[in-house]
Structure 1
């Protein structure tokens, strides 16, 4: 692990849809926005900010997660606010600091 990684902070983002049936019944407009949402986080992954992201298939609580690696906690609200799904109002995001990140 590099010294640079030790200085970075990690957060878990929980992305919540507007309804539990969202993945089964999203409209064409919502589907387009979700494509932009995936593109946004793919870009962040390519920048080394999003470590991993994807949907969680919990039938009683469907949501997505993103684990981000940032220099400081103040970056996280901006990352969330710039998500096309959040901008469109079809997603909301909670975030939590991670105490430790263990890597191979």
Structure 2
């Protein structure tokens, strides 16, 4: 089965989120970090990390998946999403290639 590449954007609740985390938000983000480390180790993630957007930091991931539904399920299982701290969007990278 051929896997496609998908852009995953983790959307924080506010522009200054990275600077103003509450204890509960920090706990959710710690779970998020561990979750993505596991996805990387399993070969599901090509690259991930925070983006220094002047409008506010957000998270980027590029994932391998059979289809969009599979990647949406990965996003829904993210501890920060499950905790209601962040939301996300997923877009397919058409004809994406990795080196």
Q: TM-score range by the shorter chain?
A: over 0.9
The secondary structure found in structure 1 opposite 2:96 is coil
* Structure 1 ranges of 4+ moved more than 4 A: none
Match of 2:94 in 1: 99
Q: How many residues align?
A: 99
Counterpart for residue 12 of structure 1: 7
* Aligned equivalents of 2:73, 2:62: Cα separation in 1: 15
**Structure 2 partner of 1:50:** 45
Residues 10, 60 of structure 2: 8 Å contact kept? yes
In structure 1, the residue corresponding to 2:14 is in which secondary structure? coil
Gaps of 5+ in 1: none
Residue 54 of structure 2 is aligned with which of 56, 59, 62? 59
C-alpha displacement of 1:72: 2.3
Larger radius of gyration: 1
